[in-house]
Structures are given as C-alpha cells and as structure tokens.
Amino acid sequence: MGKTIVIIGLGLIGGSMAMALRGFEDSRLVGVDTDPETLRFAVERGAVDEAAENAETVLGRADLVFLCLRPEGIIRFMEKYAGQFRSGAVVTDVAGIKGAIVAAARCLPDTVEFIGGHPMAGRETSGIQNADGRLFRGAHYIVTPSEKTTPSALALMERIARHIGCRDLVQTKPEEHDEIIAYTSQVMHVMAVAICDDPVLFRCRGFEGGSFRDCTRVAALDVPLWTELFSLNAGALTGVLSRLEGSLKAYREALETGDRESLSEKLRYSSDRKRHMNLE
C-alpha cells in the first residue's frame, strides 16, 4: 500500500490536484473540506478515496498533506493544526505567494517537513465543479526548498510534478518567487481588471480580437483569493505597477509629442526584448 495523501480544501485547485494525483504510486487520497456538498461531489466523481469534514480525524495518518486553501486559510490551518501532523509527514501548499506561507510554516514542529509549492495553473472559475485533472499539464511547478529540505521530499515533489503533467519542477527562494510572480502573474491580473474599468468596455463587442480576449480573460477573477494574493505581496506588486505606469507614460508622451522616430525606437527596443525572451 502506498502513501496516504490528505488534501485540505477541495476547491478548483485542491479538487484538480486530487484528480491529477489519481494513480500516483498506489497512494490513498483523502479529501478534507468544510462543505458536505463538495465532499459528496468529490467522492461521487472518484476524486478521492475518502472524505472528511474535519482535518483532525485524518491528519494523524497523512504521509503527505496538500494545503489547498486560500493563502491566509493555509496560514491559519498550520497554526491551528501544528501539533496534529504525523511525525515524518511532508507538508506542502499550492498558494500563489510564498514568503508569507513559508514564514508561517515555521510554527510546524521539527518532526514535520514543509516545502512550499506553487503549481502555476488556474482558471477563471472556482469550486470542485470546475476542477479538472488536466489543469496542471504543461505548467511550471515551483517549489521553495530550504536548507533543511531533504532530498527525499524534493524527489517526491519531482515525481508528483511529473505525474500531474507539469512541464518541470522549478526551484527558487520564497522572496524571489514573490518578486517574479508579481511580474509574470499578479500585474497581468491587475492590468486585466484595470482595462475593464474603461468606459469603452461595453461598446466594444464586435471590435475585439485575440489580444483583447487574451488580456482580459483573467479579469473575471476570484475576488477574495486575489485580494489576499495582492495584499500579501503588496511590496513587490506596487513596485512592478510603478514601473509599468512609467513605461506606459513614456509611450503616451512619445505619442503626444508626435515624435515618430522616438516612438519607433521605443517599439524596436521593447519588441526586440520580447523576441529575445521568446517563450516556447
């Protein structure tokens, strides 16, 4: 018999993780959620082998725990259940910020090994009804091992990333994760919502092309989740936003002066950077 994997929180990500973990090394999947409807759905769909409303009843036999709540839910969970994890358990999470999570994980006893994780996948929907075992395919799985992380815990994360179809396992430090993610993910979401505040929005049907659909796709976001993600990374995010405002202003001024050569030079510079940073 393989490991017992307990998934705390069966929302979009927790539910998808359960479905994606199916067949992983003969493990037994236990789902925990406060919503009985969610648990019934998870069992009926075969997402988990066992469902529990209360983490206390199952944490003691978990070899691996996936914390799939919102960031502050994860922090509160660790504080509340710190003493109830099985000795030798590996605990990981899926939150889109890592600094605050990794700091909070210091409340866990030394008998437990915590490794921060962020599988870079999501949807503009939430809940297990929208969960999909293929959600992580092709995504980067970022982890933030510390100097205490054991090779076996890291190897386990590698095997999980491969099993759920991720493109790779990327190792970084929590602070570096948060700084870069403010750029590659958070500011994309701020741009998407900010552009939807424009009064032209409701006149644009019939005039939208690929770039508009792509950019605004993520604007229908989960408000409580992104309020937490943005707030817990406000320093890095406001930095990126300031720089973006500056870049946009420079483009606007080049347009206002009517100086085509300077506009053309700016476009050459930026588009060359993009070509150089080509992402397959």
Residues 174-203 that bind a second copy (CB under 8 A): 177, 179-181, 183-185, 187-203
Task: Tell me if 150 sits within 8 A of 110, measured CB to CB.
Answer: no
Residues 6+ apart with CB under 8 A from 109: 82, 83, 85
Q: CB of residue 248 vs a second copy: minimum separation in angstroms?
A: 5
CB of 263 to a second copy, least distance (A): 6
Among 6, 68, 120, 143, binds a second copy (CB under 8 A): 120
Q: Does 56 bind a second copy (CB under 8 A)?
A: no
How far apart are CB 193 and a second copy at their closest, in Å? 4
Residues 242-261 that bind a second copy (CB under 8 A): 242-245, 247-252, 255-256, 258, 260
Q: Of 4-23, which residues contact a second copy (CB under 8 A)? A: none
CA neighbor of 8 nearest in space, from 46, 48, 45, 44: 48
- C-beta neighbour count of 149 within 10 angstroms: 18
How far apart are alpha carbons 54 and 235 in whole angstroms?
Answer: 35
Length of the chain equals 280
Say how many C-beta atoms besides its own lie within 10 A of residue 258's C-beta: 8
Counting contacts by CB under 8 A, is residue 268 touching a second copy?
yes
| Residue 216 makes contact with a second copy by CB under 8 A | yes
Scanning 58-66, 84-92, 100-108, 166-174 for contacts with a second copy by CB under 8 A, the matching segment is 166-174
Binding segment (CB under 8 A) for a second copy, from list 55-63, 77-85, 108-116, 272-280: 272-280
Are the CB atoms for 208 and 201 separated by under 8 Å? no
- Could you tell me how many residues of this chain bind a second copy (CB under 8 A)? 91
| Sole binder of a second copy in the list 48, 100, 157, 240 (CB under 8 A) | 240
Q: Given the complex with a second copy, which of 113 and 179 has the nearer CB atom?
A: 179
Should residue 212 be labelled a site residue for a second copy when binding is judged by CB under 8 A? yes
Q: Which of 122, 133, 145, 174 binds a second copy (CB under 8 A)?
A: 122
